[in-house]
Structure 1
Amino acid sequence: MPKKRPDLTKLLKQHWFLLGIFFSILLAVLNPYIGAKGGPLKPEYTVKYGAVSIIFLLSGLTLNTESLHKVFKQYRLHSFIQLFTFVLIPVLVQGIAMCLWYAGVNVWILRGLITVGCMPPPVSSAVILTRAAGGNEAAALFNSVIGSLLGVILTPIILLFSLGSTTVVPLTQSVLQLSATVLLPLGIGRMFARLHDLSNPSPVRTTYTKPIIFGQIALLVVIYTTFCDAFYEHDMAVTATDVLITVILVVLLQAILSGLSFWIAIHQFTPQDTVAAVFCSTHKSLTLGVPILRIMYHGLSHASRTGLPLLIYHPCQLLLGSLIAPSLAKWTKGRRLPL
C-alpha cells in the first residue's frame, strides 16, 4: 500500500513560524540596510516602541488574572531564574573563558564573552518564546521585567568583579524605557481584556488565538531587524577567523546554558515553569549590552572584537529558542520531549 504523501498546506500551517525565521534571515542577508538601525524601517523606533510594545499589549490581552496572582507567590522559580542569570552564568562563563585563554583564544573576544555573561535578560524574546512553547508566560513576563531592573544595578557590579572595570547604567532612562515599551502596553492590554470579560460574562474562558499569531509576527520583525544590524556592521575590524570562533563559542555556550538550566529546573518545577526558566535564565539583553560595551571599550582598537560575542549571541538565542520551542510545546502538553 503506497505511503500517504504529507499535506503541504498542513505542514506550512504547522511550521510557518520556523519558515518565517529563515525567510527573515534571508531578507536580512540580501539587504541588511533596510532593517538596520538608521535604515528606512527605523527599527530604533518602529521595533523598539512598536513591535516590542505590541508583544506586551498582546500579553496583557491573553494573560488571565489568576495567572498574575499566582506568579507573585512563585518565589522559588523567581529565585532560580535570577540566581542563574546573575550568579551562575557569570561564574561559569568566567571559568570557561580562563580555559579558552590557555587554549589561545583572543583575549578581547573572551572579554566580550564575559561581558555577555553579566547581562540581564531581555524583555521581549523570552516572553514570546515562552508563550510559543506553552510555558508559564506570566512568570516569564515577571522575571524579564524584574531581571531588567536588577540588571541596571547588578550588571555594573558583576562586571567590576569579572573584568576589573565597569560603567554606570542610566537608571532613570532604563526605567522610563521599560515603562513605555513593557508596563504601559501590558496595562492597556489588561484593561481591554477586563472590559471584554465584563461585557461578555461567561463561565467559559475565551481562547485568544489571533493575538498569539500577531505576537509571533512581531517577534519575526524583531528577528529580522536584529540580523540586519548584525550583517550591516561594516566597520567591525574583525577577521573571518574571529567570527567563526565566536559563533562556535556562542552556540556551544547557549547549548550548555540551556541544557543546564533545563536539567536543574526539570527536577524542581512543572513543565510550564521549566520552559519559562530556560528562556528567562539564559537569554541576554542586547538593549543594555550595546551601550555598556560602547562606554567601556570606546576608542580601543579591540572594541569590535569585544562587541562581537554580544552581536552574535542575541540573534543566536532567538534562532535557537525558536527551533526548540515546538518540541517544548509538545512536552508541556504531556507528550514526550524529543531528544
Structure 2
Amino acid sequence: MGLLARLRKEWFIIGIVLVILSAKLQPSVGVRGGPLRPEITVAYVAVSLIFFNSGLSLKTEELTSALLHVRLHLFVQSFTLVFFPLAVWMLLRVLELTAIDQWLLRGLQTVSCMPPPVSSAVILTKAVGGNEAAAIFNSAFGSFLGIVVTPVLLLLFLGSSSSVPFSSIFSQLFMTVVVPLVLGQVCRGFLRELLERRKPPFGAVSSCVLLMIIYTTFCDTFSNPNIELDPTSLLLVILIIFSIQISFMLLTFAFSTRSGSGFSPADTVAIMFCSTHKSLTLGIPMLKIVFEGYEHLSLISVPLLIYHPAQILLGSILVPSIRGWMTSRHKAVKLSALQPV
C-alpha cells in the first residue's frame, strides 16, 4: 500500500494526533470563552450536527427496529448506570489503601456515575459498521436517564446534595439530540432518492465533527492551571482509567458474544461502546451543579477530563481490529448458511 493510500485510510487517527498537538501548542484557542466558543459550537452546534447527520443517514425502519431491541437496551443501561458504578466503588475500597490522591479517587467514582455520551459511542459504532441505530437510541435514552439517575448516584456514592435544574438540562438534551435526529429523519423522507443515488460521506462528516470535539476537550485539559496534582497519582489514575476501559470492553464483549446471548456482531459493537463510554458534555455541567462551591471540584473533574479523550483514543485505535472481527464473523455466518444441512 502506497504512503498516500495509507494516509487516506488512517486519516482519522492522524487527525486525532494533530488536533491533540495543536491543543497542546495553543490551548487558548479552543477553551471555553476562547475564539472557537466551544460552549456553543461544541455543546450545541457540533452535537446537533452529529445527530442531524445520523438522522439523515439512518433508514427509518432501522431506527424503529432498534426501539424494539429491549434486551440490548436493558443490558447497556443496567451495565453503565448500575454495574459500572458498583464495580468502581468496590475497586476504590482497595485503592483507598494506597497513596493515590483521595480527590482523584472520588473523581473516578463520579466518572462511573455518568451517562453514556451523545457523540463518541455513536460515531465509533458507525465507523466499525455496528448497530448504529441501537447506539443512537442508547446514547439518547441513557443521556435522558442520566439527568435523573446521575445526581442520585453521586448523592449515594459521594454524599453531596443539591438541587439539580432538571428542566434546563432536559431541554438542552431535547434540543441537541431529539430535535436534530427528527429533523434529519424528516429531511431524509424528502431526499431519500437523492441520498441513495449520491451516497454522501456521512461517516467522514461525523468524524470531522468528532475531531473538533477532541480538540476543544484537550484545549480545556491543557489550559487548566488551577489543578495542583501529584504527578505519580495522576499517572496511576491514567493507567487505572485505561485498565477500566479495556476490562469493561472485554467484559461486555464476552457477555454479548456468548452462545445464546441473542446479540448479532453489529449489536456487540454498539454494546461495547455504549456501555463503557461516559459523557463529558453532560458530566462537567453536572459536576459543577452537584459540587457547586466545592474547593476540590477541579481535582474531582480530572478523571472525567482524562476518561473522555481516553475512550475516544482507545476506541479509535480498536476500530480496525473490531471491524476485522465483525467482517470475519459475517463471513463465517454466510459460509455456515451456504453449507448443506
TM over 0.5, shorter chain: yes
Task: Specify which of 228, 243, 253 is matched with residue 234 of structure 2.
Answer: 243
Q: Which amino acid aligns with 2:246?
A: A
Task: Specify which of 74, 84, 105 is matched with residue 89 of structure 1.
Answer: 84
Q: Kindly indicate whether residue 291 of structure 2 is the aligned counterpart of residue 294 of structure 1.
A: no
User: How far does residue 129 in structure 1 lie from its aligned partner after superposition?
Assistant: 1.0
Q: 1:209 to 1:330 in 2, by over 3 A?
A: farther
User: How far does residue 228 in structure 1 lie from its aligned partner after superposition?
Assistant: 0.8
Q: Which residue of 2 aligns with 1:256?
A: 247
CA offsets per residue over residues 309-333 of structure 1, 9 Å max, x none? 1111111111111111222122222
For structure 1, the 5+ residue unaligned runs are 1-5
CA offsets per residue over residues 195-218 of structure 1, 9 Å max, x none? 122x669xxx55734122111111
Q: Which amino acid aligns with 2:34?
A: G
User: How far does residue 296 in structure 1 lie from its aligned partner after superposition?
Assistant: 3.9
User: How far does residue 105 in structure 1 lie from its aligned partner after superposition?
Assistant: 2.2
Q: 1:264 to 1:168 in 2, by over 3 A?
A: farther
CA contact (8 A) 2:245 2:311 kept: yes
Task: Specify which of 168, 171, 195 is matched with residue 173 of structure 1.
Answer: 168
Q: Which residue of 2 aligns with 1:218?
A: 209
Q: Kindly indicate whether residue 154 of structure 2 is the aligned counterpart of residue 163 of structure 1.
A: no
Q: Which amino acid aligns with 1:333?
A: T
Map 1:194-213 → 2, pairs under 5 A? 194-197=189-192, 205-206=196-197, 208-213=199-204
CA offsets per residue over residues 155-206 of structure 1, 9 Å max, x none? 1222222223343432211221112211121122111211122x669xxx55
- After TM superposition, the structure 1 stretch with the greater mean CA deviation from structure 2, 293-302 or 319-328, is 293-302
CA contact (8 A) 2:162 2:289 kept: yes
Q: Which amino acid aligns with 2:132?
A: E
Task: Specify which of 46, 49, 72 is matched with residue 51 of structure 1.
Answer: 46
Q: Which residue of 2 aligns with 1:185?
A: 180
- After TM superposition, the structure 1 stretch with the greater mean CA deviation from structure 2, 32-41 or 165-174, is 165-174
Q: Kindly indicate whether residue 209 of structure 2 is the aligned counterpart of residue 231 of structure 1.
A: no
CA contact (8 A) 1:137 1:276 kept: yes
What CA distance in whole angstroms lies between the structure 1 residues aligned with 2:289 and 2:27? 25
Q: Kindly indicate whether residue 305 of structure 2 is the aligned counterpart of residue 314 of structure 1.
A: no
User: What's the TM-score, normalizing by structure 1?
Assistant: 0.91
CA contact (8 A) 1:156 1:168 kept: no
User: How far does residue 10 in structure 1 lie from its aligned partner after superposition?
Assistant: 1.2
User: How far does residue 12 in structure 1 lie from its aligned partner after superposition?
Assistant: 1.0
For structure 2, the 5+ residue unaligned runs are 331-341
- Which has the larger helix fraction? 2
What CA distance in whole angstroms lies between the structure 1 residues aligned with 2:51 and 2:199? 14
Q: Which amino acid aligns with 2:255?
A: I
Aligned length, in residue pairs: 328
Instruction: Let me know the Cα RMSD of the aligned residues.
Output: 2.0
Q: Which amino acid aligns with 1:192?
A: C
CA offsets per residue over residues 284-321 of structure 1, 9 Å max, x none? 11122213323444444433322111111111111111
Q: Which residue of 2 aligns with 1:3?
A: none
CA contact (8 A) 1:152 1:170 kept: no
- After TM superposition, the structure 1 stretch with the greater mean CA deviation from structure 2, 62-71 or 288-297, is 288-297
Q: Kindly indicate whether residue 265 of structure 2 is the aligned counterpart of residue 274 of structure 1.
A: no
Q: Which residue of 1 aligns with 2:338?
A: none
Q: Which residue of 1 aligns with 2:317?
A: 323
What CA distance in whole angstroms lies between the structure 2 residues aligned with 1:286 and 1:167? 20
CA contact (8 A) 2:147 2:170 kept: no
- Report sequence identity in percent: 46
Q: Kindly indicate whether residue 256 of structure 2 is the aligned counterpart of residue 265 of structure 1.
A: yes
**The residue matched to 1:334 in structure 2 has which SS?**
helix
What CA distance in whole angstroms lies between the structure 1 residues aligned with 2:163 and 2:222? 29
Q: Which residue of 2 aligns with 1:68?
A: 63
User: What's the TM-score, normalizing by structure 2?
Assistant: 0.91
Q: 1:68 to 1:236 in 2, by over 3 A?
A: same
Q: 1:270 to 1:234 in 2, by over 3 A?
A: same
Task: Specify which of 105, 112, 133 is matched with residue 107 of structure 2.
Answer: 112
What CA distance in whole angstroms lies between the structure 2 residues aligned with 1:287 and 1:172? 17
Q: Which amino acid aligns with 2:266?
A: Q
- After TM superposition, the structure 1 stretch with the greater mean CA deviation from structure 2, 325-334 or 149-158, is 325-334
